[in-house]
Structure 1
């Protein structure tokens, strides 16, 4: 093993000291236990050689003690013999203690190195994952955190963490959340979870997620251990996904409008034809020798009503085709279903499908975006129509039926779309709402996946219900506006 110059000098000094002790012990007539000084040599050996070297040094010193005794005392005399035994015992004990000390020192060094590596590994892992750890005491607000927490909050590593510092770095609109979390900690609640934003001095906005659990209770003091995660990247990804889903939903609506072109044209043509008929009638009433103003006024009233009807149809179509942010407003599902049925009625008639709308009375309003929910209903109706066509295209009209029903289940308003198609197997029902999974030969597998994302975003649930007879039933439920407001509060 390579040794440094200082180690070589210490080794040379130990050899000289050993020889000096041996010379004094062997060739002088001093009546004292000179050999005990070998203990110094053994202790010095611990800083020069490893464990094996110290053991050999102790053995060598003991042997030199015996040799010196043999050279100076040819007869066994009790006093010199006792000094020799004491010296050898002292050397042996010192050697054993020195080796034990070296073992303890090495063990402590290994533990210290392991702790250092663990701390470095933890710090690196926290920095990579943008997750920090902290300890918080309440009441009182004593706070301790890891270096990564300081980086997340955008402060120096040497800055003392305080609750005031946390409030200062928090977005002004979210500071009340910090107050609520502090009050929870003061009450000693077992788990505290918080999502809020940080507004750093350079204008950067960060989204963070904090979760802490009660670790110890000391009298009226509660100590929490927790983790703080920078979820800004995940939030940005979620926002991007939401925008992509909105764009895909818009594209699907436009495609659906293309498929419903005939129905839409018929729906618009009806009020326009009525306008033309009433306009001609009004002219006839006015062109009489004695104009009938009352009948003419009634004809004009019918023209205005039909004009409003055509305008409403166009407005609904434009709403479906528009691309914009969702608007959550109280909605009457009955009215929404009536409007949707009007858009698809012509298409259903062309496919010889009987359509029934069974609305439960006095349904409470739900809170949602009318365009998105109408898209869900249209998609379910079109799927049901295509399922019936694929099952028995030549079946009698009475066997080709779609029923849309509503009911109130607790605080949830449910809409169920049932058809008389081939139905769904258990495997199909389990995967029906997965993206890119389809039961149609030319399907993309995105319609029902989009429906699920829309219903989920409204706090509802969509599922395939088991049916006793042929066909399939797809139902979605939405919380009533009152229940949604209660949950939000």
Structure 2
């Protein structure tokens, strides 16, 4: 078959030339070789059959030439020539018939192979389509309006949650449609079929398990071979999209509610830092949002000129397109009222990194700023009051101070007289005079130390932290109030722990606390007559490493109704007291990161205990402290 296809592709002249050459060669060969007639005729017949593969015309010419050759070269009889001719025609006919059947069989095989390939491709295409429909959650359908016949793809059955054996009908579709959408769906389908027009709509399904699906259905109206209208379309499950849209709407509404109900407001600015958007809550404090649009912050700030360094740093930050947080500035509203704004913002950029401006929030912090200012003023008042209290305490200790100073001064005078006498001897007793001068120096130092302690208490100073030994503080306090202790017949017993670590505190303020506690103990024992009046001062270090100083008296104790109010301002149990001593003590101790407490029972004395950390912990007055 392949040979036939190849040779038949030769042109007719080539076929004739090839046949003539083959017959001529055969004829001359047989003639000169004296081949017999029968063999020569058989050879001619083979050549004719071969030429018949090229076509009927070539074979016919070959038969004629073969007959001429047999007659001319071999003098064949007429009957022989007729028989040869008939045999050639029959052979050629049979050969052509076989070739024709072969071609028909080959054509049929090709058609079968083509049909199989087409079927395989169609099956693969259908599989791809089914997979694509499942991935996109889109099913296809056909609806013949005249007969009511509906055809669904496998994905459409899945969308409607029914078995593929279910026969889809319009009644079934409407039955699965959500009751709230059913009338609208029916109206759309009826109108589309009446007008013979395409349709596109969304609706919901209410499935047997109670779940709801959102569908998007669209179809095109076409005519079939009979001229009847049918709709070919697709239905997509858009439930996930609807859920995301609903969540997005709820999220937007939620943040819109936050923005509308918050006391803060939100703003946006462009690349030139000019305001492009300010939300309405700014109106609540008297700012008209529209007035800020187009302005840069320093144009409506009231402290731009008074605090240039703050604004210079702010402008450097936003010019560098850096985020900023809690920037506080002062401005005024429409009626001229001054208030403080705290703003935070972050830079925004597009996908290519181009700076678009800032987006942020702001809040009215006037109350907080003014509260902080009030706290500062209160601290200043407390410091002034503490100073007044110290001076008042010094007034109460005048006799004790005078006694402490008089003693060394008397010694100075006595030793000076003695020194003169020693020098008046003949010869002068220089050694004795020298000892008298040394005693004068010692007494002068004692008097100087007393004056320095008094001056420190009377001096109005800022908070100054120094390395401090609480045992030395206790001894200095006893020296300052020595006269008061003696005049009230109070003895002092100390139980000071050795080698206590030093604390980093303000000496003057803590000594004021110590003096106040000792003086309170002396006052508490005024009415004690049946036992000795003893004041005990102890120092120690607790388990957490803090230093503890305690002052214990054996006075009237603390009544239960008084215990909770001891440290309140202006509360006092003394007839002539101001009620500020213990309150100031608590403020001082808490400012140093510690605490003060009182314990005791009515009639059994009282103990006031001060606990101080070695390093500065968080203070309660808001003043920045060193934190360990």
Report the TM-score range of the alignment, normalised by the length of the smaller protein: 0.5 to 0.7
8 A Cα contact 1:460 1:478, kept in partner: yes
8 A Cα contact 1:465 1:474, kept in partner: yes
Say if 2:412 is the partner of 1:275. Answer: yes
TM-score (norm 2): 0.45
The Cα shift of 1:411 comes to: 3.7
User: Cα deviations across residues 151-191 of structure 1 (Å, max 9, x unaligned)?
Assistant: 99xx97226889xx99x989858999999xxxxx99xxxxx
The Cα shift of 1:463 comes to: 1.1
Alpha-carbon separation, structure 2, partners of 1:335 and 1:442: 31
Alpha-carbon separation, structure 2, partners of 1:367 and 1:339: 18
Aligned to 1:389, the other structure's residue is in SS state coil
Instruction: Let me know the Cα RMSD of the aligned residues.
Output: 4.7
What does residue 229 of structure 1 align with? 365
User: Cα deviations across residues 338-372 of structure 1 (Å, max 9, x unaligned)?
Assistant: 11111111111111111122222222222332222
- Alignment match of 2:574 (pick from 440, 445, 461): 440
Say if 2:484 is the partner of 1:347. Answer: yes
Aligned to 1:423, the other structure's residue is in SS state coil
Alpha-carbon separation, structure 2, partners of 1:274 and 1:312: 15
8 A Cα contact 1:452 1:462, kept in partner: yes
Change (3 A) 1:290 1:421: same
What does residue 404 of structure 1 align with? 537
Runs of 4+ off more than 6 Å: 118-121, 148-152, 168-171, 173-179, 206-212, 223-226, 482-486
Q: How does 1:72-471 map to 2 (within 5 A)?
A: 126=263, 132-133=264-265, 147=282, 157-158=292-293, 198=329, 229-230=365-366, 231-390=368-527, 392=528, 394-397=529-532, 400-409=533-542, 410-466=544-600, 470-471=604-605
Structure with the greater alpha carbon radius of gyration: 2
Change (3 A) 1:296 1:149: farther
Aligned to 1:421, the other structure's residue is in SS state coil
Which structure has more relative contact order (CA 8 Å, sep 6+)? It is 1
Alpha-carbon separation, structure 2, partners of 1:332 and 1:446: 27
Alpha-carbon separation, structure 2, partners of 1:174 and 1:385: 57
Aligned to 2:526, the other structure's residue is in SS state helix
Change (3 A) 1:279 1:384: same
Structure 2, gaps ≥5 residues long: 1-253, 269-274, 317-321, 332-337, 345-358, 619-623
Change (3 A) 1:119 1:488: closer
8 A Cα contact 1:193 1:209, kept in partner: no
8 A Cα contact 2:517 2:608, kept in partner: yes
8 A Cα contact 1:197 1:207, kept in partner: no
Alpha-carbon separation, structure 1, partners of 2:545 and 2:284: 42
Aligned to 2:494, the other structure's residue is in SS state strand
Q: How many residues end up aligned between the 2 structures?
A: 333
Say if 2:617 is the partner of 1:480. Answer: no
8 A Cα contact 2:557 2:600, kept in partner: no
The Cα shift of 1:150 comes to: 11
Aligned to 1:311, the other structure's residue is in SS state helix
Q: Counting helix residues as a fraction of each chain, which structure ranks higher?
A: 1
Alpha-carbon separation, structure 2, partners of 1:396 and 1:468: 16
Alpha-carbon separation, structure 1, partners of 2:612 and 2:553: 21
Change (3 A) 1:135 1:328: farther
8 A Cα contact 2:341 2:362, kept in partner: no
TM-score (norm 1): 0.56
The Cα shift of 1:209 comes to: 9.3
Structure 1, gaps ≥5 residues long: 1-114, 127-131, 137-142, 180-184, 187-191, 201-205, 213-222
8 A Cα contact 2:343 2:360, kept in partner: no
The Cα shift of 1:416 comes to: 0.9
Alpha-carbon separation, structure 2, partners of 1:432 and 1:236: 28
Change (3 A) 1:291 1:376: same
The Cα shift of 1:251 comes to: 2.0
Alpha-carbon separation, structure 1, partners of 2:586 and 2:471: 21
Alpha-carbon separation, structure 2, partners of 1:477 and 1:209: 40
Alpha-carbon separation, structure 1, partners of 2:266 and 2:546: 41
Change (3 A) 1:360 1:280: same
Change (3 A) 1:488 1:351: same
